[in-house]
Amino acid sequence: MFFYVLIFLTLTHSTRQTEYPCNSSSICGCSSNEVITSRIVGGENASIGTWGWTVSLLINNYLLCSGSIISDSWIITAAHCVYQYLQSPIIVYAGSNFLWFGTQNRTVIQKIVHPEFDSVKFLNDIALLKLSSPLDMSDGNISAICLPSVKKSTLNSGEWPVSNQSVVTVGWGRLSYGGHLPDRLQQVTLQTINSGISNCRLLIVNTTVQFCAGAGNGTKDACQGDSGGPLMLYSSLTKQWILVGLTSSGYRCAMAGYSGIYTRVAVFKDWIESYTNESYWVEMDDSSHADYTFPSMKHIFLFLIFSFVYITPSYH
């Protein structure tokens, strides 16, 4: 009996950990350290050097948003973070998991908000920030995120990324609604949600430029301060992380029955390229390539040890 319980616990524990091998030769979507997730709201501290494109933004000396490096001179974020502060200072902190601290810091010299941004419905919630000087991309703490190049026929025929895909979001937002800000970058795994499902349909306005992600039980979500941060899909084919969404809006944080709303990055390819041709795009096929989960070697070793110990007959 005890033997079976140990096997169950060991296997259950091992499958909680997901490892994402990284293609170190990639020019985007790969940081200095590989990502490991084991379970923002309901999330965990991110390991150092795993999300090298994620930056914290200090807006007008007191507001927090997140963003992502798409080239050495450009940051992508949410329009609602910056549209009211076009004349205000924004500082970008890159290369660190700690809030408002970086191995490289830059000011923003140009803020480009999508011309059709709707601040009430959070439509076209996307903006580009040009840095005062290029980042040093040889810094091992810094990397660029890949952007998705998706056929227009795929985008027009249905939702991309497809539903029920594992995605990861990161940020320095509050750990609960109205709660405190964490010092360290948080990560959480979510699922993309079909727009027809009730916990998405209640909030989403335009499925062309928005999509939903979350956990149906309300235990995981982005929260206040995570706005503009990345929602990422791992490609098991290229072993790269792809920026599929920007944290946009939602109802409180991690509320059961409600998902988060994300800007659908793929539909803005032409707009992004009209301002910068320096970003990195990865061709995606009709279906998103999801992550895969496997037990770590440590857990396999423990399982074998437990199996040997408790299968061996006892002579007591």
Q: How confident is the model at residue 277 (pLDDT cuts 50, 70, 90)?
A: confident
pLDDT digits (tens, 9 = 90+) for 235-251: 999 999 999 999 998 65
SS (HEC) of the chain: CHHHHHHHHHHHHHCCCEEECCCCCCCCCCCCCCEEECCCECCEECCCCCCCCEEEEEECCCEEEEEEECCCCEEEECHHHHCCCCCCCEEEEECCCECCCCCEEEEEEEEEECCCCECCCCECCCEEEEECCCCCCCCCCCCCCEEEEECHHHHHHCCCCCCCCEEEEEECCCCCCCCCCCCECEEEEEEEECCCCHHHHCCCCCCCCEEEEECCCCCCECCCCCCCCEEEEEECCCCEEEEEEEEEECCCCCCCCCCEEEEEHHHHHHHHHHHCCCCCEEEECCCCCCCCCCCCHHHHHHHHHHHHHHHCCCCC
Q: How confident is the model at residue 313 (pLDDT cuts 50, 70, 90)?
A: very low
Active-site residue 125, yes or no?
A: yes
d(CA 193, CA 211): 8
Catalytic choice (26, 31, 66, 80): 80
Q: How confident is the model at residue 223 (pLDDT cuts 50, 70, 90)?
A: low
Q: How confident is the model at residue 285 (pLDDT cuts 50, 70, 90)?
A: confident
Catalytic choice (66, 227, 235, 249): 227
- Please tell me the predicted confidence (pLDDT) of residue 118: 98
Catalytic choice (26, 66, 96, 125): 125
Cα–Cα distances in angstroms (integers) from residue 285 to residues 78, 87, 121, 160, 314, in the given order: 26, 40, 30, 10, 56
Q: How confident is the model at residue 15 (pLDDT cuts 50, 70, 90)?
A: very low
- Please tell me the predicted confidence (pLDDT) of residue 159: 83
Active-site residue 235, yes or no?
A: no
pLDDT digits (tens, 9 = 90+) for 142-186: 999 999 999 999 998 878 999 999 999 999 876 655 667 778 999
pLDDT of 255 strictly over 70: no
pLDDT of 58 strictly over 80: yes
Residues 6+ positions from 17 with CB-CB distance below 8 Å: 36, 37, 38, 293, 295, 296, 299
By mean pLDDT, which of 13-17, 69-73, 297-301 is the weakest?
297-301
φ, ψ of residue 2 to 5 degrees: the values are -65, -35
Active-site residue 227, yes or no?
A: yes
pLDDT digits (tens, 9 = 90+) for 103-149: 999 999 999 999 999 999 999 999 999 999 999 999 999 999 999 99
- Please tell me the predicted confidence (pLDDT) of residue 266: 97
pLDDT of 256 strictly over 80: no
Report angle CA 87, 93, 95 to the nearest 5 degrees.
Answer: 155
Q: Which CATH class is domain 35-279?
A: mainly beta
Q: How confident is the model at residue 10 (pLDDT cuts 50, 70, 90)?
A: very low
